[in-house]
Amino acid sequence: MAGEQNGTDIFLAVETSPSSGVYTIVGGQTVYNLTLNNNLIDITNKSSASFQTFLAGAGTQGLNVTLDLIFSSDAMQALVRISARDITALNYRINMPIGNLDFAALIATSGDSSPDGAALTSNVSLQSTGSFTFQ
């Protein structure tokens, strides 16, 4: 089937020094979800014949990325935690076999799970701020 991708080939990286263009892998991901949100502009009116109508090419877009991961280092864990606490945007890159998706994001949620006898797993949800590029 065309378009199949191995999930292990997709990973999240963060630009550790602003505007450096150097990205570091955040950690080993066990679950990854990417959602493109389009907030459409409703232009439904009496002449729409009871059908909802939207303005094409208009509205706002955003990305939501959620992942479960095991941090690659204490430094990466600290970077994410401080960014969440201070509500600061960082530049992220999603590396995929078909290209890279670059975006700035704020951490919307962050939490940990530490089952007995297993590695600490963190759950992080990123919400994009500003534009994003796919290359």
CATH of the domain at 118: 4.10.410.40
- At 114-130, the pLDDT tens digits run 888 888 889 999 999 99
Rounded Cα gap, residues 72 and 25, in angstroms: 7
Total structural domains in the chain? 1
Instruction: Say if 123 falls within a structural domain.
Output: yes
Rounded to two decimals, what is the model's pTM?
0.81
Instruction: Say if 15 falls within a structural domain.
Output: yes
Phi/psi of residue 81, each to 5°? -65, -45
- At 73-86, the pLDDT tens digits run 999 999 999 999 99
- At 81-116, the pLDDT tens digits run 999 999 999 999 988 888 889 999 999 999 988 888
Rounded Cα gap, residues 87 and 84, in angstroms: 5
Q: Kindly indicate the confidence band of residue 1, based on its pLDDT and cuts at 50, 70 and 90.
A: very low
**Which domain range does residue 114 map to?**
7-134
Residue 4 has pLDDT above 80, yes or no: no
User: Alpha-carbon dihedral of residues 36, 39, 44, 50, nearest 10 degrees?
Assistant: 50
**Which is more confidently placed, 19 or 2?**
19
Instruction: Say if 20 falls within a structural domain.
Output: yes
Instruction: Say if 2 falls within a structural domain.
Output: no
Residue 47, pLDDT score:
92
